[in-house]
Amino acid sequence: MYKSLFHLTLLITFSAPISAQIQGFVLQIDGPPIEYASIQHSNSESWTLSSSTGYFYLPISLVIGDSLVVNRIGYKSTIHRISHPGTLFLKLSPEPIKMSAITVKAKRSNVFLHEKDYSSKMLKADGFNSQTTLNAVPGLIIRNTGGMAGNRSVSLFGGSTAHTKIIYDDIELTNPQNGELDISMIPSVFFDRIRIHHRDPFINRSGIMNGIVRIDPWQEKSNITVSRGSFGFQALHLNRHLGQHIWSADFNFGLVNDSGDYSVRWDGKTARRKNNWFRQRYWSGRTQKIFTDRLILSLSLMNSIQTRGVAGQIWSPSNKAKRSDHFLITGISIVYLTRKSSFKLIGSSRITEESYSNPDYAINSSHDVKVYDFSFHVKHSYSQRFDSQGLFAFKQENLFSTDAGNPTDKIINFGVNINYHVTPWLSINPAIMNQRTRLSDHQSSGQINLKFSGYNTFELIMSSGYGFRNPTLNDKYWNPGGNEDLETEKAEKLSLEASWSSQFGLDLFMTMNQVKARNLIQWIPGSEFWHPVNIARTRTNSLGLTAHFSNKLLPVQIQASMAILDTRDIQKKQSLRYAPKISGNIDLSFQQQMYSIAIQIHHTGDQIATYDWPDNVILEKATITTLILSYYPSFLNKQLNVVLTAENLFDRQYQSVYGYPEPGRRIRITMTYNF
Amino acid sequence: MSKKFTLISITILLLQLQFMISGCTFFLESDESLVRNNQIFVLCEGNFGYSNASLWSIDPNDEHVSGPIYRELTDNLLGDVGQSITYHDNKLYVVVNNSHVIRVFNISGDISFDTNIELPNASPRFLTINENYGYVSCWNLNAILKFDLNNISGTPDTIPIPGKPEEMLIDGNNLYVSLVLKQDWTSGDQVLKISLDDHNIERSFPVVPGPGSLVVHKGNLYVSSTYYDETWNKYAGLSRIHLNSNIVDSKDLGPTTELVGDLIIFQDHLYRINGTGIAEVQQDLSLQTSNQFIDKSNGYSAVGFDDMLFFGTTDFAAPDTVYLYNDRGDISAEFQIGGLPGSMLASSESVD
């Protein structure tokens, strides 16, 4: 009986058609990654472009045997037939001939993983919890002030939230007023896929000491999604995807409502979190067109409006405080390609209007921030071994604040990045960036990378660099406390990254970092009010590990990650606050043709919330489990996705910012109809 | 804190903190009745928003510090902003401002936690007691709550106040209240005289803006003031109300960068704490800063009795230090306690 069942299971398993989202790298044979190569899916005409690291991602389901057409001026076009799910390595020959189809066999070598990709697709998540995707990143800590209405920020490897940049479609989202970003202003559906950069000299203008979280908002499917869940959660999301082989566009519209009140245990008593409601309206559009084989145009817009109650700390709840914010980002990029060069012009704006009111304390503040950013990138390949990249950028930051006045900063950046491939298995990549600003001292950052591509699929990058972060506009001008004489934060970073892929579907990724920072700006209490000072010196050692396993013969995917942190505040001789010594995550999914089951277990170790004496205030460790059940029936000849999500499955009481307990078990059912 | 709070949080934090600190920085309570043999109690405010207030006791004879008391007794934190401490009938009443609670301790034997008086969103500041009734000044209510201490779970009476009531002082059958802020959170400039019989406001005395600490000395009610302009520059002043004639003398000390806070009486002299130590108040209400009684930076609170003076200092992060001075102004002991020792409670009868 059991034997028969086993055979039946095997039969079902092996006979199931396998589809996959396709990602990979476009590379020059025995050479560097190729940027702006177009990768087109022959059947659906969906397409994408490779990034500066050669990376590409096609967020559509493909079937084994489908073909991808790869084009780039200056290279011989190829057709690649998909033989397995997972990462592809597509190689192009630098021969400027007309397209002629050949079939290449996917084989990985000589690629350097500048970036690590994390996607909610693996868990088949419904898209209404950005945390599901972010949890998979080793060393990434989410700090949330409770529920959907909470103020949410992220940091990497024990650093300050101000030391991690968030990039959306080449647009930097960091708020220059406080150096941070409340990611609750970005609709969670856009966190479908994120990439983590531990190094990027050309984004490294100010503030990046720990890494970059890059959000890729493409959806590439027309669908409508409705969702309903615990605590009065309701959501509607509409995505319309249009596209042909040289043009594609996405338009999104969505609504999210969450009543947000929930019960928690605190100080031995049950308390009700009130005034925690959240409403979000958003729309976005993105289009990309290849005009000729030389000219590519991209446009991107994202607009979100949030209103929410501000529940306050558990011991000091607020029933009247309210916050509203409007977030608008726009971007345009024009790329011109030649056989050996690329020219890219990017223009973007980031506008936020935030207001906060609390009648209990007669607070009525507003903060409008306008950032305009223009940059020009030139990349030229001198030979198969040697290429360089130059950058010139201008940015203007305007603040209109009831509390920090109306300062304006103008920032100019210029830099050079060189890639020299000494041998097919070794390359050297020095880069330097200089920044001149109106409000701060001139600064520079730099780094040098040594890249090894070893036996088979083993890769190693050693990097050493230095960076800086200018004081924010709040640091300088907040009334009271702002200090125009603050010095720039400085940091030195050493890192080692290694990756390895096996033939049977196991990918391993490791990153080790040491960051030494000085002049760190901290807001400290004073006799009258809090004020920022350059006092802190810190040292952070971190180790991040990620393992991913998927195999076409098995309907199971596993991804596990963990981070180990050793942090030190040199002055206090203590570990840094909100830097758990250990954190980890396990994603496990089982997928069949009509359904999938996924589970995420996320653990965060003990953290210091507040330095105190004789004992620090500790944020206790928490292990949170999320269960996702998905069912994919056919409806009117189209696929319907029904997803049941249980976040915090075991109803744990936990908090990521001290004094802001999170809700307990949250159940949500979501239906997506693809058309 | 590292700048963990984002924009809005900083807004809340800073704006609220102005008002918290402007009213509580230098509170001192010197209770003339027995507290405990050989003990004083020190209430540390902790950092606003961090819930790390703490309560300590100090035995000056064997130079021993005990605490943090509430955390040792309950394994929980005392709360956010330990505002003031009051003794009555073998009980300690600890007002925790931003946790909106008064924690009651029984100190008749070994100290034990008794109960909480929950005051949701009231922003309680100070407690004063008269004939078993407790009067609690509450900012967010623009009122004083009157409790029957024999029935603290009962509904309190509410005495409406035209502003944010701060410190209180009972003299005879009158309750004097400093209005540190107006209802719109701008600086107040009144001290009210309220009848304890009918709770009517009998008189209002104009004083230097930002009145806080109240002390009766030689038939006069002294009122210390601290206020701020639009760009948060600090000013200080002192007022004197002649309780018999109701005449008010005021002296605006002008802008200051030093901590200028509470008033204390030590060996029949009136002093005011400032950032560089303790200075005697002159007849013209100025401070004798050139030859201070105590020269010590980072002063935050003090309490004195007999020939001993306890002087709390802070660098606004735990641990902080309380120094014990003798009547010659020499340090005889020092004690490490939590952050921001804002209130002390002692008695001349408790330390021989």
Q: Would you call B338 and A160 a contact, using CB atoms and an 8 Å cutoff? A: no
Instruction: Find the residue in A nearest to B186 (Cα).
Output: A362
Q: How far apart are CA B43 and CA B68, in angstroms?
A: 10
pLDDT at A201: 54
Candidates B5, B47, B80; nearest CB to A315 = B80
Cα separations in angstroms, A484 against A154, A208, A531, B18: 27, 21, 11, 20
Mutate one of B4, B7, B187, B273 to test the A interface: name it (highest A CB count within 10 A): B7
Closest chain B C-alpha to A320 CA, distance in angstroms: 11
Q: Would you call A481 and B14 a contact, using CB atoms and an 8 Å cutoff? A: yes
Give the three-class secondary structure for B12. helix
Q: Would you call B319 and A145 a contact, using CB atoms and an 8 Å cutoff? A: no
Closest chain B C-alpha to A256 CA, distance in angstroms: 21
Q: Which two tokens stand for residue A59?
A: 């967020």
Q: Which two tokens stand for residue B6?
A: 């984002």
Instruction: Find the residue in B nearest to A183 (Cα).
Output: B6
Q: Would you call A610 and B52 a contact, using CB atoms and an 8 Å cutoff? A: yes
pLDDT at A203: 55
Low-confidence stretches of chain A (pLDDT beneath 50): 1-19, 96-114
pTM of the full structure: 0.88
pLDDT at B38: 67
Evaluated on CA atoms B17, B18, B23, B25, the torsion sign reads positive
pLDDT at residue B17 greater than cutoff 90: no
Q: How far apart are CA B73 and CA A510, in angstroms?
A: 46
pLDDT at A529: 84
Q: How far apart are CA A513 and CA A157, in angstroms?
A: 9
pLDDT at A651: 96
**Segment B59-64 mean pLDDT:** 85
- Which are the contacts of B285, defined by CB distance < 8 A and separation ≥ 6? B238, B239, B240, B249, B250, B251
Which residue, among B195, B255, B188, has the nearest Cα to B223 in the 3D structure? B188
**Segment B226-248 mean pLDDT:** 93
pLDDT at A147: 94
Within 8 A of A321 by CB-CB distance, chain B residues are: 12
Q: How many residues are given for chain A?
A: 675
Q: How far apart are CA A308 and CA A148, in angstroms?
A: 9
Strands A164-168 and A211-215: parallel
- Which are the contacts of B127, defined by CB distance < 8 A and separation ≥ 6? B84, B86, B93, B95, B102, B134, B135, B136
